[in-house]
Structure 1
């Protein structure tokens, strides 16, 4: 039986609560259904106007590749460090076999060729293959090099989910001093006349970060890194400056929080925390009107250099006359070191960046012998000599090399049962799952939780006058296939189209292993699935809505409900007010895969007291306590799209509640805990889902626009989407530019978007069927032809080449 997360609470109690909610809103819900059209989305409106970012991303990548090509064979540093204390590589024995190593920038320089030549000479029975792309998790390679996977939690969680083990990693090089692309160290810049002498890591945390209730160590949430708002530093006087500087605000310049560069800074400075100073101005890579690239770091430093109260972190290559690099110390007592080649090499400058090698080691088992041998070579004197001869990355110190070689003797980490992968579904749910996992672990995929049957007579009946033949490859895994509707769709379609065969197999659309992916919306920001598809194929996958998420079934994309304390006099909130409460000011946000300044907003729209949200009397001055899941959870990107218009900047006073193991080995239920917390804190607000006991909390009606009606979250209002925080169910197909959609795939989607297909969805009893208006809109997409990507011109490449000289 489905539990709501409380001990002893049964499906009967939950259904009674649902009946009470539906009954209590029945009259209002019916009225809203008649009067209100599907709630307009601010994000969707911007997407229609601005596009999905394909053109911009292709132009930006053209510049990136041109600059990388120009740098890859250059030797930037001729420094020869003394490597005599670094262990010399001596074969432990002679091996036979093949070792495959991947690394985008690794193969762009001379290191890969040098390693291959030297190792094959010392190990003539081994063939070394150095490839630009390849993942340890998929078995493509034995060693994967690049940024730290444990910082990129989506990739780390996918690794854990696939292999059921932790990532094993060692660092094999230090990043560069000033070579863009080759992991240059973080430089703290201020305006040249700023009198600040030096800064510590703790001070940088106070400047750039916000208070946080915990932080990430890989995919493990740790509370020992928490800090309170009393350590925020928001004025130059808090750093010891006096006189006219004492009360001056610190102006933060930065990059979009989804950029990889931010993740290393979070680990180094925030101890894994992910809450940033909400006043950070984000500078992204953008496409200029002439097709050239607006580069984030140089433009950011240029603007900061004109602001006496500004500060940012960037790379040494972005240095300009109006900016000054500040020495940094690991502790408040120092020593405070300037960034130089030598302070990066000996790591006395604390904001160096590491290059990592990641491998797969089974829990309690030793490292594969050949893999261990090659890693030992990478860390040896010969391997490090190849690094310094390449002249971009910096060799690691001898003590780091010795420690890393010793680590290779350690067995794979054995993790407490239930802990490994605990956060995986939260951080990176598979694309064929829902937008949020079933936190209760009690939902029965075959059970119908809703018995209501909507009148679907206004939906088009399926017309099989066009007969098609062929095969449709469908994912074997996922919620659609685990429920009743996936097989029902296939069986029903085959009766109408007997010439079609379905093949169920695991695989992804981006790898061309399936023809359709059915499930949650693809992540569309920087490094999300939509961008990865765009970069690989130079067109976007076709996205079709095939259903609405559930009202309150955990795991099945339930609608967001906004909860406040029952004593709170606020009776409803608009989407813009929610943005003001949960979000911070932003220079822009992600509209699909492009960072758009059009969706930026100022701090004037922040809402930090209940009076600003309309509460009268004594409530007017009460601060709003915002309670949310951790910002790295996938569901937060959904909330960002729905409420923050794709922005990533959150209210920096939020309190994060993660999924945790209890002392008895059971898991908490974060959505339920957040609602309970709101019931105990009269000033609190959170988002969760309906279906859990509300206690002393209440769900608020919401309005899509300032002048719109306030619509309560009910089954009917979620289905017709007059409630603005409903979620969706999606299908994705690969349609080639300038060509119609594959006729077999198109016909199957037409069937899903028919009266018969939507009736099967509603009979499954978890997701909700589309309305006739929604079906019409989605069917029209099936007839669309995608125009090919058009390069905006050669100016981007020309400017890149000129800029790289």
Structure 2
């Protein structure tokens, strides 16, 4: 499958150099007359809150629709979709080549991933932590069992990252997601270069749990979606490398990919390219990509898609003509 986020964001960055130029004027959802049935969603914890908000809004329009949602991690999404247990497979990463190959071997076609929102994977520290920026190399030194940066020198106290005064000797306490998580895999690939995490990383079952753990301990650091930010933590700006500018987790930084850990959030579907998408799944996707659904995305703390992305995704699914 094409690297949807990279393709779309690169296009947007070239076409719209300023945040205010992004066209966020989406069309509202147009309900059909009657709709009933049952959908099941299995997958991302990062998207759990969003799926619940989207399901709530959709069921308010169609009381006869049932939507069951399970959010234990992105790694649970491909098997559930492959087996037919679910029609919806939310993921905080794209499927791997192995996952796509297994799906195609059984189904005879590739899974269809829809970009439904944009996230800046945040590096959270306690609200009192004075660190003002971290590089990807420093994050590698913090989290990796065998860092590829700085000659393999690991960071164990905040002084290793330049902190002074009382913070210099303060130990770094590590929190992260478990191995079912797409966020875990994304961080491992994009920060650790595929290397292993330190055994000291305390794995959490959910995104919210990571943020709560960091908020409860001054020396803590963890990673989680920007939608889970609370007053007890700070999202530290990140630089691609030493000497490069630091960028925050803002909408503009994420969409222009200046923030190094920007990523797409996806819902994968069972769609045979030779056949139309089933009506119930199609209407739910149209709702997600509408003004109504993207208002819920913002409510959940993520960044909404642009009009160009919406039209691109609906066109791929053969739904654009029915959504305007």
TM bracket, shorter-chain basis: 0.5 to 0.7
Give the aligned partner of residue 162 of structure 2.
Answer: 615
Give the aligned partner of residue 187 of structure 2.
Answer: 639
Task: Classify the secondary structure of the residue corresponding to 1:475.
Answer: strand
Q: Residues 649, 562 of structure 1: CA spacing in aligned structure 2 closer, same or farther, 3 A cutoff?
A: same
C-alpha contact 1:545 1:730 (8 A) present in aligned 2? yes
Partner Cα separation in structure 1 for residue 158 and residue 39 of structure 2? 52
Q: How does 1:224-239 map to 2 (within 5 A)?
A: none
C-alpha contact 2:138 2:161 (8 A) present in aligned 1? no
Partner Cα separation in structure 2 for residue 724 and residue 584 of structure 1? 21
User: What count of residue pairs does the alignment treat as equivalent?
Assistant: 282
Partner Cα separation in structure 1 for residue 184 and residue 141 of structure 2? 16
Partner Cα separation in structure 2 for residue 705 and residue 468 of structure 1? 54
Q: Find 2:304's aligned residue among 769, 777, 781.
A: 769
Deviations 1:680-732 (A, max 9, x none): 5xxx64446631525xxx54211356676423346886798764445654321
Q: How does 1:374-453 map to 2 (within 5 A)?
A: none
Give the aligned partner of residue 700 of structure 1.
Answer: 236
- Whether 1:691 aligns to 2:230 is yes
Partner Cα separation in structure 2 for residue 676 and residue 503 of structure 1? 37
Partner Cα separation in structure 2 for residue 704 and residue 43 of structure 1? 21
Give the aligned partner of residue 123 of structure 2.
Answer: 561
C-alpha contact 1:542 1:733 (8 A) present in aligned 2? yes
Deviations 1:67-95 (A, max 9, x none): xxxxxxxxxxxxxxxxxxxxxxxxxxxxx
Give the aligned partner of residue 517 of structure 1.
Answer: 88
Note the C-alpha offset of 1:734.
1.8
Q: Find 1:583's aligned residue among 114, 137, 144.
A: 144
C-alpha contact 2:52 2:69 (8 A) present in aligned 1? no
Greater share of helix: 2
Q: Find 2:295's aligned residue among 721, 735, 759.
A: 759
User: Which has the bigger relative contact order, CA under 8 A and spacing at least 6?
Assistant: 2
Partner Cα separation in structure 2 for residue 708 and residue 43 of structure 1? 26
C-alpha contact 2:127 2:232 (8 A) present in aligned 1? no
Note the C-alpha offset of 1:544.
0.9
Give the aligned partner of residue 27 of structure 2.
Answer: 461
Q: Residues 524, 658 of structure 1: CA spacing in aligned structure 2 closer, same or farther, 3 A cutoff?
A: same
- Whether 1:742 aligns to 2:277 is yes
Q: How does 1:101-112 map to 2 (within 5 A)?
A: none
Give the aligned partner of residue 247 of structure 2.
Answer: 711
Q: Residues 783, 627 of structure 1: CA spacing in aligned structure 2 closer, same or farther, 3 A cutoff?
A: same
- Whether 1:649 aligns to 2:189 is no
Q: Find 2:212's aligned residue among 672, 675, 680.
A: 672
Partner Cα separation in structure 1 for residue 122 and residue 305 of structure 2? 18
Task: Normalising by structure 1, report the TM-score.
Answer: 0.28
Please tell me the root mean square deviation across aligned C-alpha atoms, in Å.
5.5
Partner Cα separation in structure 1 for residue 293 and residue 304 of structure 2? 9
> What are the ranges of 5 or more consecutive residues in structure 1 without an aligned counterpart?
1-41, 47-453, 495-500, 552-558, 587-601, 661-668, 785-805
- Whether 1:486 aligns to 2:55 is yes
Task: Classify the secondary structure of the residue corresponding to 1:769.
Answer: coil
- Is the deviation greater in 532-541 or in 454-463? 454-463
Task: Classify the secondary structure of the residue corresponding to 1:655.
Answer: coil
Partner Cα separation in structure 1 for residue 243 and residue 311 of structure 2? 27
Give the aligned partner of residue 11 of structure 2.
Answer: none
Note the C-alpha offset of 1:779.
3.9
Give the aligned partner of residue 174 of structure 2.
Answer: 627
C-alpha contact 1:703 1:710 (8 A) present in aligned 2? yes
Partner Cα separation in structure 1 for residue 171 and residue 154 of structure 2? 6
C-alpha contact 2:37 2:66 (8 A) present in aligned 1? yes
Structure with larger Rg: 1
Partner Cα separation in structure 2 for residue 777 and residue 605 of structure 1? 44
Partner Cα separation in structure 1 for residue 254 and residue 106 of structure 2? 36
Task: Normalising by structure 2, report the TM-score.
Answer: 0.58
C-alpha contact 1:580 1:605 (8 A) present in aligned 2? no
Task: Classify the secondary structure of the residue corresponding to 1:730.
Answer: strand
C-alpha contact 1:585 1:649 (8 A) present in aligned 2? yes
C-alpha contact 2:136 2:239 (8 A) present in aligned 1? yes
